[in-house]
Structure 1
Amino acid sequence: MAVISYKCPNCGGDLRFDPSTQKYKCEYCISLFTQEELEAANPQASGEETAPHVHARGGQKAGQGGQESAQNDDGGKEEQGAVVYSCPGCGAEIVTDATTAATFCYYCHNPVVLKGRLSGEYEPDLVIPFAVDKKEAVEDFLKYVRGKKFVPKDFFCKEQIEKISGVYFPFWTYSCLADGQWQGSAQKVRVWQMGELEYTETKVYDVERRAELTFRNLTREALNKENRQLVEAVQPFRLEEAKDFSMGYLSGFFAEKRDIEKAEISAGVEQEVRDYAGKMLHSSVSGYMTTQTRDTRVHMQEETWKYLLLPVWVLTYRGADGKLYYYAMNGQTRKICGVLPIDKARMALLFLGVFLPLLLLLLMGGYFLW
């Protein structure tokens, strides 16, 4: 599997995707390059894959005995879910897990894309590139946190803020044309009175509705990791702005590869479409006092599945209570969510500084009145 690092054709520096310009920026000479210029300057991104130095994490290389290791789908060896690659910049080891598709070297901070993780059947169809850069993400984070009381100061200290990361999360989208038919019965009831007699007229109708319904871009998670919940909390994304996938968009960010296949979720998605189509057809029946469903049939046509990556800025924090807290921001729309820690010491100080003096004042007032 090729380990790709995009380089500037002018100075050889690292190229990273720049959300503010939607181009590729050199961190050293500040040059900007389009997608076409990036591919022309870095033919290894689309050419033949080179053999990397890949081995399982442990005291020995994979395949040389010791603990049992398994061949992963990237052509490398992995042991207990960890795989080690060599950084093309400095030669240091890059440790990844089974779903990491883009990361950084911990020594030279060189952004690398693990091409084999996103090739063949695992190559995404679409990607929504980051539209918010790290500086803007940090500014929005500070505005959000400083508006919250009782958040520990070390949650937004300099060292913590530097850990904010842009991550591409994998998703499936489903679109189809649903040919739906609803059949049922409906009633109209009329009541009137003549003299001392009350009359009730009940009319029963057979009702049928039929329509073609278009469903576009129903999204489903394609990652089993616990942190997948971060991307759920900052939806929706403007999926109409998605672009054809190119690995260059991942340079300078982290990325996850899917580990949930569409076969695992297709039945549930199709049933959801059937249920929703039936409700829409039923709700179109009006002018009756009561309606009752007898039969609903929905046939899906022109079904399309797409595999795409969605951008999220993420910051996690391990609280004093041992719990993991997080902050997440949609890298396209800036929607924010967070599960923030509470500084109990600050709450106690507030109580002692405000409520305790007030309580003493009330007690003293009651004493003098007595």
Structure 2
Amino acid sequence: MSDETVPPPLPGHPTAPVVSGRCPVCGAALAYGAGRSALVCGSCGNQVQITHDERDAVDEHSYSRWLADPHRYDVATLGGQVLTCEGCGASTETKDLAGSCQFCGGNLVASVQPAGVIAPEGVLPFVVDSAQARGEFTRWVRSRWFAPGALKKVGDTESIRGTYLPHWTFDARTTTEYVGQRGEHYTEKQGDNEVRKTRWWPAAGTVDNVFDDLLVPASATLPRNRVDDLGPWNLSLVQPYRPEYLVGHSAVRYDADPDAAFREAQQQMERVIRHDVEVDIGGDEQRIHHLDTRYADVMFKLVLLPIWIATFMYAGRQWQVMVNASTGEVVGDRPYSVPKIVAASIAGLVVLAVTIWVFTRSS
């Protein structure tokens, strides 16, 4: 018998049912149908409904309890799992939650998380399908100011793929004691002029806040600034996690633990707290000298958010555009036409010169 201590399970689901990515009618590959709550066969059109039972829920977990667990894992040390393709039977070792077989393109979805991995509690399903995403992408490309003329030809022929990006959400109650100053403006006559001055008074007090579902990306797979620009996300539409939602798409595992994410969530909270403290101080100006914040009832969960990623080639470089698969919001990078920018600058200077000339002649 081994003396190795087996750590207790971390927050997550028990063993999930095995997901079939093959159509029960014709055997072709299935994929989640955006907005349909069903897996759809790309060959015969058959649909397999995704059902939830009374045990399915989007649960939250105690952050302090997780933090105190001596057996919690460092995400950097967690290994992958072996997934077997239903199409060709090939085995793939991966840290991703879902993807496609490199040999036949069949679906790969992890039904069971490796020991130590926190399983997703919720998933925001795809609402925007690939055709709509292509349309949004094409409109975005063709509406860019100062874009090279050839860029307008980029469109439906470019590659696009769907993925789920993990995010942590945090809830918390905070109580903040502050010390600062309240500034009140007054005017003082100096010669023939009135000068505004500020009289400062000491201020101290307590501010309470309640935070709900603060989002923090759990993976650095995609550029952070672009991911932030894709929001806001309507988390009221999040469904209890089932692996069927991942079929036909990719999904990466988190690479930032809850403790690192919570530090970022605290920064989000502090911005709100500082604003509320300034309101509580009142007056015309405020100075904050000290904040002491206590956190209570901190809860967290892992949710998967849907993104379409479109890529296109231009001038020998690959460019990436992302589409929020829930709202259709588009963000991304694109090239600029130097001649167009120069021409616009020259035109602006000409207009300015003409305006000055007309003004000078009329005065």
Task: Show the counterpart of 2:80.
Answer: 74
The structure-2 alpha-carbon separation of the partners of 1:91 and 1:191, relative to structure 1 and needing over 3 Å to count, comes to closer
Q: Quote the offset at 1:248 in angstroms.
A: 0.6
Secondary structure of the corresponding residue to residue 132 of structure 2: helix
Q: Quote the offset at 1:332 in angstroms.
A: 0.4
Distance, in Å, in 1 between the alignment partners of 2:169 and 2:217 is 9
CA offset digits 1:43-64 (Å, max 9, x no partner): xxxxxxxxxxxxxxxxxxxxxx
Secondary structure of the corresponding residue to residue 121 of structure 1: coil
The structure-2 alpha-carbon separation of the partners of 1:232 and 1:271, relative to structure 1 and needing over 3 Å to count, comes to closer
Contact 2:218 2:261 in 1 (8 A): no
1:273 maps to 2:269: yes
Task: Show the counterpart of 1:341.
Answer: 335
Task: Show the counterpart of 1:28.
Answer: 43
Distance, in Å, in 2 between the alignment partners of 1:159 and 1:119 is 41
Contact 2:39 2:49 in 1 (8 A): yes
Secondary structure of the corresponding residue to residue 267 of structure 1: helix
Q: Find the partner of 2:212 among 212, 216, 219.
A: 216
The structure-2 alpha-carbon separation of the partners of 1:226 and 1:6, relative to structure 1 and needing over 3 Å to count, comes to closer
Q: Find the partner of 2:297 among 278, 292, 302.
A: 302
Q: Find the partner of 2:172 among 176, 190, 194.
A: 176
**Which range moved further: 204-213 or 304-313?**
204-213
Q: Find the partner of 1:320 among 302, 315, 327.
A: 315
AA aligned to 1:315 is A
Contact 1:150 1:343 in 2 (8 A): yes
Q: Find the partner of 2:306 among 311, 332, 337.
A: 311
Correspondence list, 1:1-370, <5 A: 4-36=19-51, 73-76=79-82, 86-92=84-90, 94=92, 98-116=94-112, 121-148=117-144, 149-150=147-148, 152=150, 156=154, 159-160=157-158, 163-186=159-182, 205-227=201-223, 230-286=226-282, 288-321=283-316, 323-342=317-336
AA aligned to 1:316 is T
Q: Quote the offset at 1:318 in angstroms.
A: 4.3
Unaligned 5+ residue runs, structure 1? Answer: 39-70, 77-84, 194-201, 356-370
Q: Quote the offset at 1:263 in angstroms.
A: 1.9
Task: Show the counterpart of 2:71.
Answer: none
Unaligned 5+ residue runs, structure 2? Answer: 1-14, 54-76, 190-197, 348-363
Distance, in Å, in 2 between the alignment partners of 1:137 and 1:232 is 19
Q: Report % sequence identity.
A: 21
Distance, in Å, in 1 between the alignment partners of 2:51 and 2:319 is 40
Distance, in Å, in 2 between the alignment partners of 1:259 and 1:304 is 19
Given the two structures, how large is their TM-score scaled by the length of structure 1? 0.68
**Number of residue-to-residue matches in the alignment:** 297
Task: Show the counterpart of 1:197.
Answer: none
Contact 1:151 1:341 in 2 (8 A): no
AA aligned to 2:219 is L
Contact 1:168 1:254 in 2 (8 A): yes
**Which range moved further: 29-38 or 294-303?**
29-38
Q: Runs (4+) of structure 1 moved beyond 6 Å?
A: 189-193
Secondary structure of the corresponding residue to residue 281 of structure 2: coil
Task: Show the counterpart of 1:52.
Answer: none
Task: Show the counterpart of 2:359.
Answer: none
AA aligned to 1:309 is L
Distance, in Å, in 2 between the alignment partners of 1:277 and 1:37 is 39
Q: Specify the structure having the higher radius of gyration (Cα).
A: 1
| Higher-RCO chain (CA-CA 8 Å, sequence separation at least 6) | 2
Contact 1:92 1:107 in 2 (8 A): yes
The structure-2 alpha-carbon separation of the partners of 1:179 and 1:154, relative to structure 1 and needing over 3 Å to count, comes to same
The structure-2 alpha-carbon separation of the partners of 1:246 and 1:119, relative to structure 1 and needing over 3 Å to count, comes to farther
Secondary structure of the corresponding residue to residue 231 of structure 1: helix
Contact 2:78 2:116 in 1 (8 A): no
Given the two structures, how large is their TM-score scaled by the length of structure 2? 0.69
